[in-house]
């Protein structure tokens, strides 16, 4: 983290040198579009293969990337789509969506000691709701899948859009938490009565786990508890595989080849959260590469010259209108001039607040980039290319 100010560098250097760029940020800041646009920027400037892994893209964006409804499969964005958008790609752009259920199934198949156990797990009626809920399972599979793709060595650059989570950095803890969970005392307690003595369902409760059971029984009923325990007993057979894998995933996230880009808007709440991500990343020794200020108002528009003109329009609209050539409805003209003067001043307040917040930024990675707001929503490659030009100008 440097102390430099201003948006002097672009993310082009990151895209050129890193193997993995992880985009994170709170909900609604445009993380997915920025991640996809970075992919476009990389593919238009560099040779090689770039993959964008997105989690929950808007339908039109998924359509534009050609990944709508195709699950975990990686797809190449056809050159024709680039040509249509008026861009000439140098490299290949690939895209994939994260399908949590598919990824979990694949994980179970890989780590289960034998096929029978794998199917016992997959067929358990608790499996689906558990993988949807426990230990931030979305985050875990997102990171796990990133590792898997990286290991194939098929891509020069992998760009990851992180899942929307309650706490946006949960995904960083997910591998470690997964390992903790499998090694934890509670899982041993829960499955102990069913392991000891070898006879499933025979409740041989140890002194240590007795209070746990008496309370859990009263709340949940013993049948339910037994269902859970059986499920986890099978699940536990994957312990070694999971723990080893979690460690590798963590190591990859900390590797020099991986960098993180935090996306935020210049609004109070998202910015506060964005700065917390930055702090947290630095604290945990991850590589914080860039801070992207998305959907900002264009500074060039809301400068002092415009303010002068707007003020004069608001003050003297009738006089100004009367002096214009060929405008007969002077009242209507004055009304419109007043309206645009007022609109300018309204937006200028927002622009000023953004400037203020920008200057107060606590964390400054080497790269701080502004991406201006666009009137229409980004839903195609052309739109992504527009963002890309701001992310990596020139």
Q: Which of residues 66-125 bind other proteins (CB under 8 A)?
A: none
Query: What is the Cα–Cα distance from 261 to 147, expressed in whole angstroms?
Result: 18
The number of C-alpha atoms within 13 Å of 201 and in the hemisphere containing its C-beta is 1
380 binds other proteins, rule: CB under 8 A: no
| 75 phi/psi in degrees, rounded to 5 | -125, 145
126 binds other proteins, rule: CB under 8 A: yes
Tokens 């801070």 -> residue: 291
| Candidate ranges 7-15, 43-51, 324-332, 362-370; the one touching other proteins (CB under 8 A) | 324-332
CB neighbour list of residue 344: distance below 8 Å, 6 or more residues apart? 302, 306, 307, 309, 310
| Candidate ranges 73-81, 88-96, 139-147, 219-227; the one touching other proteins (CB under 8 A) | 219-227
Token output for 90: 């140098």
347 binds other proteins, rule: CB under 8 A: yes
Among 115, 123, 285, 376, binds other proteins (CB under 8 A): 376
Nearer to other proteins, 50 or 384 (CB): 384
359 binds other proteins, rule: CB under 8 A: no
Query: 157-161 and 92-97: which strand pairing?
Result: unpaired
283 binds other proteins, rule: CB under 8 A: no
Q: How far is CA 372 from CA 34, 300, 352, in A?
A: 11, 11, 14
Among 1, 109, 176, 186, binds other proteins (CB under 8 A): 186
215 binds other proteins, rule: CB under 8 A: yes
Among 52, 53, 67, 187, binds other proteins (CB under 8 A): 187
Query: What is the Cα–Cα distance from 293 to 373, expressed in whole angstroms?
Result: 10
Least distance to other proteins from the beta carbon of 20, Å?
A: 24
Helices and strands (DSSP H and E) totals, the chain: 17, 8
Per-position x/- string for 20-59, each x denoting binding to other proteins as judged by CB under 8 A, each - no binding: ------xxxx----------------------------xx
Query: What is the Cα–Cα distance from 243 to 253, expressed in whole angstroms?
Result: 16
3-state secondary structure 186-200: HHHHHHHHHHCCCCC
CB neighbour list of residue 305: distance below 8 Å, 6 or more residues apart? none
305 binds other proteins, rule: CB under 8 A: yes
Angle at 293 between CA 287 and CA 299, to 5 degrees: 145
Query: What is the Cα–Cα distance from 348 to 26, expressed in whole angstroms?
Result: 25
Nearest to 391 by CA among 79, 81, 14: 14
Least distance to other proteins from the beta carbon of 27, Å?
A: 2
299 binds other proteins, rule: CB under 8 A: no
| Candidate ranges 109-117, 139-147, 244-252, 323-331; the one touching other proteins (CB under 8 A) | 323-331
Nearer to other proteins, 102 or 276 (CB): 276
Site for other proteins in 222-251 (CB under 8 A): 222-224, 228, 232
Token output for 143: 């990171």
Site residue total, other proteins (CB under 8 A)? 80
Nearer to other proteins, 39 or 270 (CB): 270
Among 55, 81, 130, 233, binds other proteins (CB under 8 A): 130
Nearer to other proteins, 204 or 324 (CB): 324
Nearer to other proteins, 202 or 324 (CB): 324
Query: What is the Cα–Cα distance from 267 to 148, expressed in whole angstroms?
Result: 36
Least distance to other proteins from the beta carbon of 120, Å?
A: 17
Nearer to other proteins, 285 or 376 (CB): 376
Task: Say how many residues make up the chain.
Answer: 394
Least distance to other proteins from the beta carbon of 172, Å?
A: 18
356 binds other proteins, rule: CB under 8 A: no
Least distance to other proteins from the beta carbon of 355, Å?
A: 14
Nearest to 122 by CA among 131, 4, 113, 153: 131
Site for other proteins in 131-160 (CB under 8 A): 133-135
Query: 170-183 vs 239-254: helix axis angle to the nearest 10?
Result: 150
| 293 phi/psi in degrees, rounded to 5 | -95, 105
219 binds other proteins, rule: CB under 8 A: yes
């Amino acid at each position: 983290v440097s102390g430099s100010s201003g948006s002097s560098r672009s993310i082009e250097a990151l895209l050129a040198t890193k193997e993995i760029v992880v985009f994170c940020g709170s909900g609604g800041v445009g993380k997915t579009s920025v991640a996809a646009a970075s992919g476009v920027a990389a593919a238009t400037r560099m040779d090689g293969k770039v993959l964008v892994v997105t989690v929950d893209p808007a339908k039109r964006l998924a359509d534009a990337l050609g990944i709508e409804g195709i699950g975990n499969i990686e797809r190449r964005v056809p050159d024709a789509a680039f040509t249509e958008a008026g861009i000439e790609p140098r490299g290949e752009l690939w895209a994939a969506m994260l399908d949590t259920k598919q990824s979990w199934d694949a994980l179970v198949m890989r780590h289960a000691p034998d096929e029978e156990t794998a199917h016992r797990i997959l067929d358990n009626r608790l499996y689906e709701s558990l993988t949807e809920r426990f230990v931030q399972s979305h985050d875990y599979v997102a990171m796990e899948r990133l590792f898997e793709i990286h290991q194939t060595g098929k891509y020069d650059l992998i760009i990851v859009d992180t899942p929307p989570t309650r706490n946006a950095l949960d995904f960083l803890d997910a591998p470690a938490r997964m390992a903790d969970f499998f090694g934890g005392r509670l899982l041993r307690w829960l499955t102990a009565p069913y392991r000891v003595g070898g006879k499933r369902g025979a409740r041989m409760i140890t002194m240590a786990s007795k209070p746990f059971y008496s309370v859990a029984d009263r709340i949940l009923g013993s049948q339910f508890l037994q269902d859970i325990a059986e499920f986890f007993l099978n699940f536990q057979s994957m312990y070694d595989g999971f723990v080893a894998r979690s460690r590798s995933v963590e190591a990859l996230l900390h590797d020099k080849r991986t960098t993180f880009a935090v996306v935020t808007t210049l609004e109070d709440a998202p910015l506060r959260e964005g700065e917390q991500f930055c702090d947290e990343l630095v604290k945990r020794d991850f590589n914080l590469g860039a801070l992207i200020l998305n959907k900002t108002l264009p500074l060039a528009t809301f400068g002092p010259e415009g303010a002068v003109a707007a003020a004069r329009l608001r003050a003297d609209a009738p006089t100004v209108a009367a002096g214009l050539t060929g405008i007969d409805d002077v009242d209507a003209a004055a009304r419109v001039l007043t309206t645009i003067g007022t609109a300018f001043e309204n937006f200028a307040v927002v622009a000023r607040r953004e400037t203020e917040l920008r200057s107060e930024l606590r964390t400054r990675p080497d790269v701080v980039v502004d991406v201006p707001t666009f009137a229409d929503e980004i839903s195609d490659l052309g739109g992504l290319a527009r963002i890309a030009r701001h992310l990596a100008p020139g």
